[in-house]
Chain A
Amino acid sequence: MGVITNQGILDKLNAQFPDAIQDVSEPKGLLTFATGREKLPEIIRFLKEDASLAFRFLTDLTGVHYPDRELPLGVVYHLQSMALNRRLRIKAFLPLNDPRIETLTNLFPGANWMERETYDFFGIIFEGHPDLRRILNMDDMVAFPMRKEFPLEDPNRRDKNDDFFGR
């Protein structure tokens, strides 16, 4: 299989999904782009099933919370193509009041727990997920602790107040 550059991957995606690929960048050489939640499952399916790309490995799935942005909740997917020996990063941003995105469990069974973890920590709801429960925190927890507004420590505690070290 010939060598394909990041630009080559991007060209293929742009040809297949016009106007869906936004915010393209290459931090540290890793192709990164954002897309809307409507197109995201299709794009990932295309990346997986296109024979010349074959991004058949879901390396990682996680969330990021940017409280200052218009669409604050980000879902970050790292995909890998072992045939091309190349990784890429896809992001989808969601509004805080409607954090819904389609699940990837039908494409990658391994997305199951990664999505549960992301739901547990960020409250992102993966539609169509077979078993969307909390995974690391207790079931009756109400907050989503990795969001920025959730404090690290109980704010009522005084014994751990140490302003010099950022706590």
Chain B
Amino acid sequence: MTTFLEDKALQKDITTLNLGPTHPATHGVFQNVLKMDGERIVSADPTIGYIHRAFEKIAEHRPFYQITPLTDRLNYCSAPINNMGWHMTVEKMLGLELPKRVDYLRVIVMELSRIADHLICNGILGVDSGAYSGFLYLFEEREKIYDIFEEICGARLTTNVGRIGGFERDFSDKAFDRIRQFLKEFPPVMKDFEKLFNRNRIFIDRCTGVSPITVEQALGYSWTGPLLRAAGLDYDVRVLEPYSSYDDFEFEVPVGTSGDCYDRFIVRNEEIWQSLRIIEQALEKLKKEPEGLFHAHVPEFYLPPKQEVYNNMEALIYHFKIVMGEIENPATEVYHAVEGANGELGFYLVTDGGRSPFRLHFRRPSFINYQAYPDLIIGGLLSDAILTMSSMNVIAGELDA
């Protein structure tokens, strides 16, 4: 007669667990097939590509202007950074110089969207560790940033903001008022949020030591952005290869030490403060610039505002030529990188003088960061895997392109 224990019914077994594709904690559509030994993960197999939309292929068939909406949909939490990155790539290809005022306006929009992106990420990290209220505080502030975007360009999420050579229209007084109001109202809320989390015993216990990474490993995985900085390397495209007008501003690059979830959280929080600093400086510098200048004078590349198209023959001609893709562009290759919210967002553009890119490749930080995910979670607990994913800020649109 077999006893209960000899009968293998209670023997330790490896369970297969599907985390995703639509698990609430994956914040998007990606699957992880985990092999579990009790609560511990022994192997992980990630699958991505559920929302792959062939952006690079579509881009080969579109004039340069019509690619901007594609970039919106990469990292939709901070769409303006993607837009501006693309415009700057085209400007680099065409060799355009922009007035300082346009650069400052761009910096304001980009830093606002960086704040919005970090707010989402850190708020969600709180939710995934069981603290909902911080997320609710921050969401209201994010809405205020979206109000500013709405005032600037008329859209909130997929902003399509800016044009090659500048902006479609000047910032209204109301937009500047809203930005100033945000700069005044947001810091106290952010301080509250930090009070709620930074020294919270439960949060610290859940986050410290979860999926730590060394600088060497992070560099090997080609990590950039807050993830690399949390590991301890102060690599920031804004500092090392200043684009737009970032070399005019004073700001610090926060770094962590261990690269674990808690460090990533703190680094993002600190970056929000630095972004606020940059916006304040930009507003100050704007006062010295001539008013009403919102684009470079490059009529053959800059799509004129609609009102001018209706009333001005030259504007109508250029509008027509640009929309039909008749821009004179050189056959060259450009790699332009901007500091996206997740890391280095690069655009590799190959042109042959035609109306659309010969080849356009997006270096998407989420895609490159996420491949380290299995290595980070193997050996850990399932609950740590959830926190690791939210602290990596993987945006499904950017992952799949």
Contacts and interface: CB of A to CB of B under 8 A. Distances in A.
B277 interface: no
A111 B233 CA distance: 20
Nearest to B241: A85
A27 B220 contact: no
B62 A58 contact: no
Contact of B361 (A62, A109, A113): A62
Contacts of B223: 110
Interface in A93-145: 108-114, 117, 121, 134-138, 145
Contacts of A145: 54, 57
Given A82-B240, A85-B241, A166-B355, A109 B220 contact: yes
Interface in A48-89: 56-60, 62, 64-65, 76, 78, 82, 85, 87, 89
B286 interface: no
Given A27-B333, A135-B48, A152-B61, A146 B222 contact: no
B333 A108 contact: no
B222 A136 contact: no
Contacts, number: 99
Contacts of A82: 233, 235, 240
Given A135-B49, A136-B48, A137-B52, A59 B361 contact: no
A125 B183 CA distance: 52
Given A56-B219, A89-B333, A146-B57, A112 B371 contact: yes
B346 interface: yes
Contacts of B346: 59-60, 78
Nearest to A133: B47
B400 A60 contact: no
A32 B233 CA distance: 27
B333 A110 contact: no
Interface size class of A (residues with CB under 8 A): 35 or more
A114 B240 CA distance: 24
Nearest to B334: A28
B333 to A, nearest CB: 5
A85 B240 contact: yes
Contact of A30 (B220, B233, B335, B371): B335
Given A28-B92, A166-B62, A78 B334 contact: no
Given A30-B335, A114-B368, A146-B56, A58 B222 contact: yes
A136 B240 contact: no
A158 interface: no
A167 interface: yes
A108 B335 contact: no
Nearest to B346: A60
A121 B57 CA distance: 10
A60 B61 contact: no
Contacts of A65: 359
B219 A136 contact: no
B348 interface: yes
A162 to B, nearest CB: 11
B52 A167 contact: no
B91 to A, nearest CB: 11
B212 to A, nearest CB: 16
Nearest to B239: A85
B367 A57 contact: no
A167 B222 CA distance: 36
B355 A110 contact: no
18 contacts: A30-B335, A58-B222, A59-B222, A59-B337, A59-B346, A60-B335, A60-B348, A62-B348, A62-B361, A64-B358, A78-B335, A85-B240, A108-B220, A109-B372, A136-B48, A136-B401, A150-B57, A166-B325
Interface of A: 27-28, 30, 32, 56-60, 62, 64-65, 76, 78, 82, 85, 87, 89, 108-114, 117, 121, 134-138, 145-146, 150, 152, 164, 166-167
